[in-house]
Copies of this chain bind each other. A is one copy, B any other.
Amino acid sequence: MSIRGLYVIIDPDACGGRDPVDVARQALAGGASIIQWRDKRREKGVQLADARALGKLCKEYGALYIVNDHVDLALAVAADGVHVGQGDLPADVVRGLVPDSFVIGASTNNVDEARAAEVAGASYIAVGSMFPTASKEPERTRAATPERLREVKAVVDVPVVGIGGIDASTISEVLAAGADAVAVISAVCGAEDPKAAAEALVAAFN
């Protein structure tokens, strides 16, 4: 499974009170090729049922399944990989805890962070934030721009994922900058019709 196409981050807080598993199903039906489970708020034991359900869904749809931040939760639910931010366990440490085939994604904001993450063993590099976003997380609110993604793409060999405030009106700009995949949260989780929203974003890849 490659890092390519629409990458939908399922954050229960972004789903407007809807069942996050149902939102994920709609995102997959709409063509998402990668799903990330991301819950910054609840304890890991409490997340377990939803995180497992997403894993089953991804298998059904042949999608790649990534868990945010927590290597232990990712392994516990048999995910395909884990995504780590700049404050999480670094990729080289994660690499020592997981099977060789495990995907490790890393959040970066610039060429230096991207190079470091690749050297540390990241399987893909996320660059953000492409556009202003409502999220309060430092990594997502550090501005990057599509031009920055183009610079990163020029210096790393692993796939590059654009993230942060991307929607149907801006996705083409991120793809034109060289993104292999595009990650979204609210553009799908917050959409009235998550399936239609995913379809509109996937159409930009063709």
A96 to B72, alpha carbons, bound, how many Å? Answer: 10
> A177 at interface (Cβ–Cβ under 8 A)?
no
Q: Is the CB of A76 within 8 A of B48?
A: no
In the complex, how many angstroms separate the beta carbon of A126 from the nearest chain B beta carbon? 16
CB distance from A73 to the nearest CB of B (A): 7
A93 to B84, CA, bound (A): 22
Assess A45 versus B97: contact at CB under 8 Å? Given A72-B71, A72-B72.
no
- Which of A73, A90, A94 has most chain B Cβ within 10 Å? A73
Which residues from B are CB-within-8-Å of A76? 89, 93, 96-97
Total count of chain A residues near the partner, CB < 8 A = 24
CA of A88 to CA of B46 in the docked complex: distance in angstroms? 7
| Docked complex Cα distance between A18 and B56 (Å) | 46
A70 is an interface residue with CB less than 8 A from chain B: yes
With the chains together, A42 CA to B89 CA distance in Å?
12
CB-CB nearest in chain B for A85: B43
A and B contact pairs by CB, cutoff 8 A, 25 listed: A42-B87, A43-B85, A43-B87, A43-B88, A44-B69, A44-B87, A44-B88, A44-B89, A45-B86, A45-B88, A45-B89, A45-B90, A48-B90, A70-B70, A70-B72, A71-B72, A72-B72, A72-B89, A72-B94, A72-B97, A75-B97, A76-B89, A76-B93, A76-B96, A76-B97
